Structure 1
Protein backbone atom coordinates (compact mmCIF):
# COMPACT_ATOMS: atom_id res chain seq x y z
CA UNK A 1 0.00 0.00 0.00
CA UNK A 2 2.99 2.29 0.58
CA UNK A 3 3.89 2.07 -3.10
CA UNK A 4 0.33 3.05 -4.07
CA UNK A 5 0.30 6.08 -1.76
CA UNK A 6 3.75 7.07 -2.99
CA UNK A 7 2.49 6.97 -6.60
CA UNK A 8 -0.51 9.14 -5.68
CA UNK A 9 1.75 11.67 -3.94
CA UNK A 10 4.06 11.93 -6.95
CA UNK A 11 1.07 12.23 -9.29
CA UNK A 12 -0.37 15.08 -7.23
CA UNK A 13 2.97 16.86 -7.29
CA UNK A 14 3.28 16.53 -11.08
CA UNK A 15 -0.34 17.45 -11.80
CA UNK A 16 0.25 21.21 -11.81
CA UNK A 17 3.48 21.29 -13.77
CA UNK A 18 3.24 23.49 -16.92
CA UNK A 19 3.99 20.49 -19.17
CA UNK A 20 1.03 18.61 -17.68
CA UNK A 21 -1.65 21.30 -17.61
CA UNK A 22 -2.34 21.14 -21.35
CA UNK A 23 -2.80 17.37 -21.13
CA UNK A 24 -5.32 18.05 -18.34
CA UNK A 25 -7.34 20.36 -20.58
CA UNK A 26 -7.48 19.03 -24.12
CA UNK A 27 -8.84 15.46 -23.59
CA UNK A 28 -11.75 16.83 -21.56
CA UNK A 29 -12.45 19.54 -24.16
CA UNK A 30 -12.30 17.05 -27.01
CA UNK A 31 -14.54 14.55 -25.20
CA UNK A 32 -17.06 17.30 -24.43
CA UNK A 33 -17.04 18.46 -28.05
CA UNK A 34 -17.54 14.91 -29.36
CA UNK A 35 -20.56 14.26 -27.17
CA UNK A 36 -22.10 17.67 -27.79
CA UNK A 37 -21.95 17.00 -31.53
CA UNK A 38 -23.42 13.52 -31.05
CA UNK A 39 -26.13 14.85 -28.73
CA UNK A 40 -27.17 17.50 -31.26
CA UNK A 41 -27.09 15.07 -34.19
CA UNK A 42 -28.89 12.21 -32.44
CA UNK A 43 -30.92 14.01 -29.78
CA UNK A 44 -34.20 12.35 -30.68
CA UNK A 45 -32.56 8.91 -30.71
CA UNK A 46 -30.92 9.39 -27.30
CA UNK A 47 -34.13 10.82 -25.87
CA UNK A 48 -36.03 7.83 -27.21
CA UNK A 49 -33.61 5.42 -25.54
CA UNK A 50 -33.93 7.24 -22.22
CA UNK A 51 -37.72 7.30 -22.51
CA UNK A 52 -37.71 3.56 -23.29
CA UNK A 53 -35.56 2.87 -20.25
CA UNK A 54 -37.80 4.99 -18.03
CA UNK A 55 -40.84 3.23 -19.43
CA UNK A 56 -39.33 -0.17 -18.54
CA UNK A 57 -38.84 1.12 -15.01
CA UNK A 58 -42.39 2.47 -14.86
CA UNK A 59 -41.17 6.06 -14.49
CA UNK A 60 -42.17 7.43 -17.90
CA UNK A 61 -45.91 7.13 -17.21
CA UNK A 62 -45.47 9.01 -13.94
CA UNK A 63 -43.53 11.78 -15.70
CA UNK A 64 -46.15 12.06 -18.45
CA UNK A 65 -48.91 12.71 -15.91
CA UNK A 66 -46.83 15.05 -13.76
CA UNK A 67 -48.11 18.62 -13.43
CA UNK A 68 -47.00 21.26 -14.07
CA UNK A 69 -45.25 19.93 -17.17
CA UNK A 70 -42.10 21.97 -16.64
CA UNK A 71 -41.25 19.78 -13.63
CA UNK A 72 -41.35 16.67 -15.81
CA UNK A 73 -39.23 18.42 -18.45
CA UNK A 74 -36.72 19.49 -15.79
CA UNK A 75 -36.44 15.93 -14.47
CA UNK A 76 -35.86 14.59 -17.96
CA UNK A 77 -33.21 17.26 -18.58
CA UNK A 78 -31.40 16.22 -15.39
CA UNK A 79 -31.51 12.58 -16.50
CA UNK A 80 -29.96 13.55 -19.82
CA UNK A 81 -27.24 15.45 -17.98
CA UNK A 82 -26.57 12.54 -15.62
CA UNK A 83 -26.03 10.34 -18.66
CA UNK A 84 -24.02 12.95 -20.57
CA UNK A 85 -21.43 13.69 -17.85
CA UNK A 86 -20.24 10.07 -17.33
CA UNK A 87 -20.00 9.60 -21.11
CA UNK A 88 -17.79 12.68 -21.40
CA UNK A 89 -15.64 11.56 -18.47
CA UNK A 90 -15.13 7.99 -19.74
CA UNK A 91 -14.33 9.32 -23.22
CA UNK A 92 -11.76 11.70 -21.71
CA UNK A 93 -10.22 8.77 -19.82
CA UNK A 94 -9.86 6.77 -23.03
CA UNK A 95 -8.42 9.74 -24.95
CA UNK A 96 -5.92 10.37 -22.15
CA UNK A 97 -4.91 6.69 -22.04
CA UNK A 98 -4.43 6.45 -25.81
CA UNK A 99 -2.99 9.85 -26.70
CA UNK A 100 -2.09 11.72 -23.51
CA UNK A 101 0.17 9.09 -21.96
CA UNK A 102 3.37 9.55 -24.06
CA UNK A 103 4.20 13.09 -22.83
CA UNK A 104 3.32 12.10 -19.26
CA UNK A 105 5.53 9.00 -19.46
CA UNK A 106 8.42 11.11 -20.79
CA UNK A 107 7.96 13.57 -17.92
CA UNK A 108 7.96 10.89 -15.21
CA UNK A 109 10.79 8.89 -16.81
CA UNK A 110 13.04 11.92 -17.26
CA UNK A 111 12.58 13.18 -13.72
CA UNK A 112 12.34 9.99 -11.68
CA UNK A 113 13.60 7.05 -13.75
CA UNK A 114 16.19 8.43 -16.21
CA UNK A 115 18.28 5.23 -16.15
CA UNK A 116 15.35 2.83 -16.65
CA UNK A 117 15.90 0.92 -19.89
CA UNK A 118 13.12 1.02 -22.49
CA UNK A 119 12.33 -2.48 -23.74
CA UNK A 120 9.08 -1.53 -25.54
CA UNK A 121 7.08 -4.67 -24.78
CA UNK A 122 3.77 -2.98 -25.60
CA UNK A 123 2.27 -1.90 -28.90
CA UNK A 124 -0.40 0.39 -30.32
CA UNK A 125 -2.57 -2.65 -31.07
CA UNK A 126 -2.18 -3.82 -27.48
CA UNK A 127 -3.06 -0.37 -26.19
CA UNK A 128 -6.17 -0.15 -28.37
CA UNK A 129 -7.21 -3.67 -27.43
CA UNK A 130 -6.81 -2.93 -23.73
CA UNK A 131 -8.91 0.24 -24.07
CA UNK A 132 -11.68 -1.54 -26.00
CA UNK A 133 -11.84 -4.40 -23.49
CA UNK A 134 -11.84 -1.93 -20.58
CA UNK A 135 -14.75 0.12 -21.94
CA UNK A 136 -16.83 -2.89 -23.01
CA UNK A 137 -16.45 -4.63 -19.65
CA UNK A 138 -17.10 -1.32 -17.87
CA UNK A 139 -20.42 -0.99 -19.73
CA UNK A 140 -21.17 -4.66 -19.14
CA UNK A 141 -20.57 -4.25 -15.42
CA UNK A 142 -23.08 -1.40 -15.28
CA UNK A 143 -25.71 -3.35 -17.24
CA UNK A 144 -25.31 -6.62 -15.33
CA UNK A 145 -25.44 -4.90 -11.93
CA UNK A 146 -28.49 -2.72 -12.66
CA UNK A 147 -30.75 -4.99 -10.54
CA UNK A 148 -28.58 -4.17 -7.52
CA UNK A 149 -29.89 -0.60 -7.62
CA UNK A 150 -33.35 -1.88 -6.71
CA UNK A 151 -31.89 -3.85 -3.81
CA UNK A 152 -30.09 -0.82 -2.36
CA UNK A 153 -26.65 -2.21 -3.15
CA UNK A 154 -26.27 -0.18 -6.33
CA UNK A 155 -24.34 2.54 -4.50
CA UNK A 156 -21.18 0.40 -4.66
CA UNK A 157 -21.43 -0.16 -8.43
CA UNK A 158 -19.90 3.19 -9.56
CA UNK A 159 -16.86 2.68 -7.33
CA UNK A 160 -16.22 -0.88 -8.51
CA UNK A 161 -16.75 0.15 -12.13
CA UNK A 162 -14.40 3.15 -11.80
CA UNK A 163 -11.73 1.00 -10.13
CA UNK A 164 -11.92 -1.61 -12.88
CA UNK A 165 -11.91 0.93 -15.70
CA UNK A 166 -8.92 2.89 -14.39
CA UNK A 167 -6.70 -0.09 -13.63
CA UNK A 168 -7.49 -1.83 -16.92
CA UNK A 169 -7.23 1.33 -19.00
CA UNK A 170 -3.98 2.80 -17.64
CA UNK A 171 -1.78 -0.06 -16.44
CA UNK A 172 -0.91 -1.28 -19.94
CA UNK A 173 0.22 2.08 -21.31
CA UNK A 174 1.99 3.00 -18.05
CA UNK A 175 4.66 0.32 -18.57
CA UNK A 176 4.36 -0.52 -22.28
CA UNK A 177 7.36 1.60 -23.32
CA UNK A 178 9.79 0.51 -20.61
CA UNK A 179 8.86 -3.10 -19.78
CA UNK A 180 9.36 -6.16 -21.95
CA UNK A 181 6.34 -8.30 -22.82
CA UNK A 182 7.34 -10.83 -20.13
CA UNK A 183 7.80 -8.09 -17.54
CA UNK A 184 4.39 -6.66 -18.38
CA UNK A 185 2.70 -10.02 -17.86
CA UNK A 186 4.48 -10.48 -14.54
CA UNK A 187 3.59 -6.97 -13.34
CA UNK A 188 -0.08 -7.37 -14.23
CA UNK A 189 -0.22 -10.77 -12.51
CA UNK A 190 1.84 -10.18 -9.38
CA UNK A 191 0.86 -6.56 -8.66
CA UNK A 192 -2.87 -7.06 -9.15
CA UNK A 193 -3.72 -5.76 -5.67
CA UNK A 194 -1.72 -2.59 -6.23
CA UNK A 195 -3.31 -1.90 -9.61
CA UNK A 196 -6.83 -2.35 -8.18
CA UNK A 197 -6.09 -0.20 -5.13
CA UNK A 198 -4.77 2.54 -7.39
CA UNK A 199 -7.81 2.17 -9.66
CA UNK A 200 -10.19 2.57 -6.74
CA UNK A 201 -8.41 5.56 -5.20
CA UNK A 202 -8.05 7.44 -8.49
CA UNK A 203 -11.62 6.48 -9.41
CA UNK A 204 -12.94 8.25 -6.32
CA UNK A 205 -11.77 11.56 -7.80
CA UNK A 206 -14.36 11.36 -10.58
CA UNK A 207 -17.16 11.67 -8.02
CA UNK A 208 -15.85 14.98 -6.65
CA UNK A 209 -17.18 18.00 -8.62
CA UNK A 210 -14.45 20.17 -10.22
CA UNK A 211 -11.70 17.82 -9.04
CA UNK A 212 -13.04 15.28 -11.52
CA UNK A 213 -11.83 17.57 -14.32
CA UNK A 214 -8.31 16.62 -13.24
CA UNK A 215 -9.22 12.97 -12.81
CA UNK A 216 -8.01 11.44 -16.11
CA UNK A 217 -4.52 12.95 -15.96
CA UNK A 218 -4.20 12.37 -12.22
CA UNK A 219 -4.99 8.69 -12.77
CA UNK A 220 -2.58 8.48 -15.70
CA UNK A 221 0.27 10.00 -13.68
CA UNK A 222 -0.42 7.77 -10.68
CA UNK A 223 -0.34 4.62 -12.80
CA UNK A 224 2.84 5.70 -14.55
CA UNK A 225 4.61 6.38 -11.26
CA UNK A 226 3.41 3.11 -9.77
CA UNK A 227 4.17 0.99 -12.83
CA UNK A 228 7.66 2.36 -13.45
CA UNK A 229 8.54 2.18 -9.74
CA UNK A 230 7.49 -1.48 -9.60
CA UNK A 231 9.39 -2.23 -12.80
CA UNK A 232 12.55 -0.52 -11.51
CA UNK A 233 12.33 -2.43 -8.23
CA UNK A 234 11.81 -5.72 -10.06
CA UNK A 235 14.91 -5.19 -12.18
CA UNK A 236 16.92 -4.13 -9.13
CA UNK A 237 15.90 -7.29 -7.25
CA UNK A 238 16.66 -9.43 -10.31
CA UNK A 239 20.14 -7.91 -10.67
CA UNK A 240 20.88 -8.45 -6.98
CA UNK A 241 19.77 -12.09 -7.02
Structure 2
Protein backbone atom coordinates (compact mmCIF):
# COMPACT_ATOMS: atom_id res chain seq x y z
CA UNK A 1 0.00 0.00 0.00
CA UNK A 2 1.41 3.42 -0.93
CA UNK A 3 2.07 5.85 1.89
CA UNK A 4 -0.70 8.15 0.55
CA UNK A 5 -3.40 5.50 0.89
CA UNK A 6 -1.88 4.20 4.12
CA UNK A 7 -2.19 7.71 5.53
CA UNK A 8 -5.84 7.91 4.41
CA UNK A 9 -6.68 4.56 6.05
CA UNK A 10 -4.81 5.48 9.24
CA UNK A 11 -6.58 8.85 9.47
CA UNK A 12 -10.00 7.23 9.06
CA UNK A 13 -9.14 4.68 11.76
CA UNK A 14 -7.90 7.36 14.18
CA UNK A 15 -11.11 9.37 13.86
CA UNK A 16 -12.84 6.66 15.86
CA UNK A 17 -9.96 5.47 18.06
CA UNK A 18 -8.42 8.59 19.51
CA UNK A 19 -11.49 10.03 21.25
CA UNK A 20 -11.44 13.36 19.45
CA UNK A 21 -15.16 14.04 18.96
CA UNK A 22 -15.10 17.57 20.40
CA UNK A 23 -11.89 18.33 18.54
CA UNK A 24 -13.73 17.52 15.31
CA UNK A 25 -16.62 19.88 16.01
CA UNK A 26 -15.35 23.04 17.70
CA UNK A 27 -13.15 24.50 14.89
CA UNK A 28 -16.08 24.26 12.46
CA UNK A 29 -18.55 25.80 14.93
CA UNK A 30 -16.11 28.63 15.69
CA UNK A 31 -15.57 29.33 11.97
CA UNK A 32 -19.28 29.35 11.08
CA UNK A 33 -20.17 31.63 14.00
CA UNK A 34 -17.30 33.99 13.22
CA UNK A 35 -18.27 34.47 9.57
CA UNK A 36 -21.99 34.68 10.34
CA UNK A 37 -21.27 37.53 12.76
CA UNK A 38 -18.89 39.25 10.31
CA UNK A 39 -21.40 38.76 7.48
CA UNK A 40 -24.24 40.24 9.55
CA UNK A 41 -22.22 43.29 10.60
CA UNK A 42 -20.77 43.98 7.15
CA UNK A 43 -23.53 42.57 4.93
CA UNK A 44 -23.86 45.79 2.90
CA UNK A 45 -20.12 45.88 2.29
CA UNK A 46 -20.09 42.26 1.17
CA UNK A 47 -23.02 42.85 -1.17
CA UNK A 48 -21.22 45.80 -2.73
CA UNK A 49 -18.07 43.71 -3.19
CA UNK A 50 -20.13 41.01 -4.91
CA UNK A 51 -21.70 43.61 -7.23
CA UNK A 52 -18.22 44.94 -8.07
CA UNK A 53 -16.98 41.45 -8.91
CA UNK A 54 -20.05 40.80 -11.03
CA UNK A 55 -19.58 44.18 -12.66
CA UNK A 56 -16.09 43.16 -13.74
CA UNK A 57 -17.54 40.19 -15.62
CA UNK A 58 -20.31 42.30 -17.16
CA UNK A 59 -23.43 41.22 -15.24
CA UNK A 60 -23.39 43.57 -12.25
CA UNK A 61 -25.64 46.22 -13.82
CA UNK A 62 -27.91 43.51 -15.22
CA UNK A 63 -28.32 42.08 -11.71
CA UNK A 64 -29.13 45.50 -10.20
CA UNK A 65 -31.92 46.03 -12.75
CA UNK A 66 -33.26 42.49 -12.61
CA UNK A 67 -37.01 42.13 -12.03
CA UNK A 68 -38.60 40.89 -9.86
CA UNK A 69 -36.33 41.83 -6.96
CA UNK A 70 -36.45 38.39 -5.35
CA UNK A 71 -34.61 36.87 -8.31
CA UNK A 72 -31.78 39.37 -7.90
CA UNK A 73 -31.72 38.63 -4.16
CA UNK A 74 -31.57 34.91 -4.89
CA UNK A 75 -28.64 35.31 -7.30
CA UNK A 76 -26.83 37.58 -4.84
CA UNK A 77 -27.46 35.08 -2.04
CA UNK A 78 -25.94 32.34 -4.17
CA UNK A 79 -22.77 34.36 -4.72
CA UNK A 80 -22.67 35.19 -1.00
CA UNK A 81 -22.81 31.46 -0.29
CA UNK A 82 -19.99 30.82 -2.77
CA UNK A 83 -17.92 33.34 -0.79
CA UNK A 84 -19.06 32.07 2.63
CA UNK A 85 -18.15 28.41 2.03
CA UNK A 86 -14.43 28.92 1.23
CA UNK A 87 -14.08 31.41 4.08
CA UNK A 88 -15.48 28.86 6.55
CA UNK A 89 -13.33 26.08 5.08
CA UNK A 90 -10.11 28.05 5.20
CA UNK A 91 -10.80 29.37 8.73
CA UNK A 92 -11.59 25.88 10.02
CA UNK A 93 -8.43 24.47 8.45
CA UNK A 94 -6.27 27.27 9.86
CA UNK A 95 -7.74 26.83 13.36
CA UNK A 96 -7.10 23.10 13.09
CA UNK A 97 -3.52 23.60 11.87
CA UNK A 98 -2.53 26.15 14.51
CA UNK A 99 -4.51 25.11 17.61
CA UNK A 100 -5.51 21.45 17.15
CA UNK A 101 -2.68 19.88 15.16
CA UNK A 102 -0.08 19.87 17.99
CA UNK A 103 -2.41 17.79 20.19
CA UNK A 104 -3.15 15.40 17.32
CA UNK A 105 0.56 15.02 16.59
CA UNK A 106 1.19 14.06 20.21
CA UNK A 107 -1.61 11.47 20.12
CA UNK A 108 -0.47 9.91 16.84
CA UNK A 109 3.24 10.02 17.63
CA UNK A 110 2.82 8.54 21.10
CA UNK A 111 0.75 5.64 19.80
CA UNK A 112 2.29 4.87 16.41
CA UNK A 113 5.74 6.52 16.30
CA UNK A 114 7.03 6.39 19.89
CA UNK A 115 10.68 5.98 18.84
CA UNK A 116 10.71 8.92 16.43
CA UNK A 117 13.00 11.59 17.88
CA UNK A 118 11.70 15.17 18.01
CA UNK A 119 14.07 17.65 16.38
CA UNK A 120 11.72 20.70 16.37
CA UNK A 121 12.83 21.96 12.98
CA UNK A 122 9.68 24.03 12.57
CA UNK A 123 8.45 27.01 14.55
CA UNK A 124 5.22 28.73 15.55
CA UNK A 125 6.11 31.75 13.42
CA UNK A 126 6.77 29.43 10.48
CA UNK A 127 3.36 27.80 10.97
CA UNK A 128 1.60 31.17 11.10
CA UNK A 129 3.37 32.50 8.00
CA UNK A 130 2.60 29.26 6.16
CA UNK A 131 -1.08 29.42 7.21
CA UNK A 132 -1.41 33.05 6.08
CA UNK A 133 0.21 32.35 2.71
CA UNK A 134 -1.94 29.26 2.11
CA UNK A 135 -5.13 31.13 3.10
CA UNK A 136 -4.46 34.16 0.90
CA UNK A 137 -3.71 32.04 -2.17
CA UNK A 138 -6.73 29.79 -1.50
CA UNK A 139 -9.14 32.76 -1.28
CA UNK A 140 -7.50 34.38 -4.32
CA UNK A 141 -8.11 31.21 -6.36
CA UNK A 142 -11.79 31.23 -5.37
CA UNK A 143 -12.31 34.92 -6.18
CA UNK A 144 -10.50 34.77 -9.51
CA UNK A 145 -12.41 31.64 -10.51
CA UNK A 146 -15.91 33.07 -9.80
CA UNK A 147 -16.44 34.20 -13.44
CA UNK A 148 -15.63 30.67 -14.63
CA UNK A 149 -18.74 29.36 -12.87
CA UNK A 150 -20.81 31.01 -15.59
CA UNK A 151 -19.16 28.70 -18.14
CA UNK A 152 -19.22 25.51 -16.07
CA UNK A 153 -15.42 25.33 -15.89
CA UNK A 154 -15.53 26.71 -12.35
CA UNK A 155 -16.80 23.40 -10.98
CA UNK A 156 -13.25 21.98 -10.94
CA UNK A 157 -11.73 25.01 -9.19
CA UNK A 158 -12.88 24.11 -5.63
CA UNK A 159 -11.15 20.73 -5.87
CA UNK A 160 -7.90 22.29 -7.09
CA UNK A 161 -8.12 24.96 -4.39
CA UNK A 162 -8.80 22.35 -1.68
CA UNK A 163 -5.87 20.22 -2.84
CA UNK A 164 -3.56 23.23 -2.73
CA UNK A 165 -4.82 24.41 0.66
CA UNK A 166 -4.52 21.02 2.33
CA UNK A 167 -1.02 20.17 1.16
CA UNK A 168 0.31 23.69 1.65
CA UNK A 169 -1.15 24.10 5.12
CA UNK A 170 -0.50 20.71 6.71
CA UNK A 171 2.75 19.43 5.16
CA UNK A 172 4.86 21.84 7.21
CA UNK A 173 2.99 21.59 10.50
CA UNK A 174 2.79 17.78 10.40
CA UNK A 175 6.60 17.60 10.43
CA UNK A 176 7.47 20.73 12.41
CA UNK A 177 7.89 19.04 15.82
CA UNK A 178 9.75 15.90 14.74
CA UNK A 179 11.84 16.78 11.67
CA UNK A 180 14.82 19.06 11.21
CA UNK A 181 14.59 21.92 8.70
CA UNK A 182 16.60 19.82 6.26
CA UNK A 183 14.26 16.85 6.69
CA UNK A 184 11.16 19.02 6.23
CA UNK A 185 12.52 20.50 2.99
CA UNK A 186 13.67 17.14 1.68
CA UNK A 187 10.41 15.30 2.38
CA UNK A 188 8.33 18.11 0.88
CA UNK A 189 10.48 18.42 -2.25
CA UNK A 190 10.82 14.67 -2.88
CA UNK A 191 7.10 13.99 -2.39
CA UNK A 192 5.58 17.00 -4.13
CA UNK A 193 3.16 14.99 -6.28
CA UNK A 194 2.21 12.65 -3.45
CA UNK A 195 1.40 15.65 -1.26
CA UNK A 196 -0.84 17.08 -3.98
CA UNK A 197 -2.50 13.68 -4.36
CA UNK A 198 -3.15 13.47 -0.62
CA UNK A 199 -4.39 17.06 -0.66
CA UNK A 200 -6.86 16.22 -3.43
CA UNK A 201 -8.13 13.02 -1.77
CA UNK A 202 -8.66 14.71 1.58
CA UNK A 203 -10.12 17.74 -0.20
CA UNK A 204 -12.84 15.61 -1.76
CA UNK A 205 -14.15 14.89 1.74
CA UNK A 206 -14.90 18.61 2.16
CA UNK A 207 -17.62 18.38 -0.51
CA UNK A 208 -19.53 15.38 0.88
CA UNK A 209 -22.48 16.57 3.03
CA UNK A 210 -22.26 15.69 6.75
CA UNK A 211 -19.01 13.78 6.23
CA UNK A 212 -17.36 17.13 5.56
CA UNK A 213 -17.80 17.89 9.27
CA UNK A 214 -14.92 15.47 9.80
CA UNK A 215 -12.81 16.90 6.96
CA UNK A 216 -10.41 19.22 8.86
CA UNK A 217 -9.42 16.66 11.50
CA UNK A 218 -9.36 13.83 8.94
CA UNK A 219 -7.04 15.92 6.74
CA UNK A 220 -4.78 16.78 9.67
CA UNK A 221 -4.51 13.11 10.71
CA UNK A 222 -3.77 12.01 7.14
CA UNK A 223 -0.92 14.50 6.75
CA UNK A 224 0.48 13.63 10.19
CA UNK A 225 0.66 9.95 9.26
CA UNK A 226 2.06 10.78 5.80
CA UNK A 227 4.74 13.08 7.20
CA UNK A 228 5.83 10.93 10.13
CA UNK A 229 5.87 7.76 8.01
CA UNK A 230 8.13 9.45 5.45
CA UNK A 231 10.32 10.81 8.23
CA UNK A 232 10.69 7.33 9.72
CA UNK A 233 11.74 5.87 6.35
CA UNK A 234 14.11 8.75 5.66
CA UNK A 235 15.92 8.25 8.96
CA UNK A 236 16.07 4.50 8.43
CA UNK A 237 17.70 5.09 5.03
CA UNK A 238 20.21 7.50 6.56
CA UNK A 239 21.14 4.99 9.27
CA UNK A 240 21.51 2.22 6.68
CA UNK A 241 23.73 4.48 4.55
CA UNK A 242 25.93 5.31 7.54
CA UNK A 243 26.29 1.62 8.38
CA UNK A 244 27.35 0.83 4.79
CA UNK A 245 29.94 3.63 4.80
CA UNK A 246 31.41 2.32 8.03
Same fold (TM over 0.5): yes
> Which runs of structure 2 are paired with 1:109-120 in the superposition (5 Å)?
109-120=109-120
The gaps in structure 1 that reach 5 residues or longer are none
CA distance in 2: counterparts of 1:149 and 1:81, whole angstroms = 13
User: In the alignment, which residue of structure 1 is the partner of 2:154?
Assistant: 154
Q: Which of 136-145 and 102-111 deviates more?
A: 136-145
Whether 1:225 aligns to 2:232 is no
User: In the alignment, which residue of structure 1 is the partner of 2:181?
Assistant: 181
Whether 1:94 aligns to 2:88 is no
> Which runs of structure 2 are paired with 1:211-222 in the superposition (5 Å)?
211-222=211-222
Q: Which of 55-64 and 21-30 deviates more?
A: 55-64
CA distance in 1: counterparts of 2:74 and 2:192, whole angstroms = 44
TM-score, structure 2 length as denominator? 0.90
- Structure 2 vs 1, CA of residues 148 and 42 (structure 1 numbering), >3 Å: closer, same or farther? closer
CA distance in 2: counterparts of 1:90 and 1:46, whole angstroms = 18
CA distance in 1: counterparts of 2:28 and 2:214, whole angstroms = 9
User: In the alignment, which residue of structure 1 is the partner of 2:130?
Assistant: 130
TM-score, structure 1 length as denominator? 0.92
User: In the alignment, which residue of structure 2 is the partner of 1:75?
Assistant: 75
The gaps in structure 2 that reach 5 residues or longer are 242-246
Q: Secondary structure at the match of 1:19?
A: coil
Check whether the contact 2:86–2:139 (CA below 8 A) recurs between aligned residues. no
Aligned residues: 241
CA distance in 2: counterparts of 1:30 and 1:14, whole angstroms = 23
> Which runs of structure 2 are paired with 1:171-210 in the superposition (5 Å)?
171-210=171-210
> Which runs of structure 2 are paired with 1:98-109 in the superposition (5 Å)?
98-109=98-109
Check whether the contact 2:86–2:142 (CA below 8 A) recurs between aligned residues. no
CA distance in 1: counterparts of 2:147 and 2:61, whole angstroms = 21
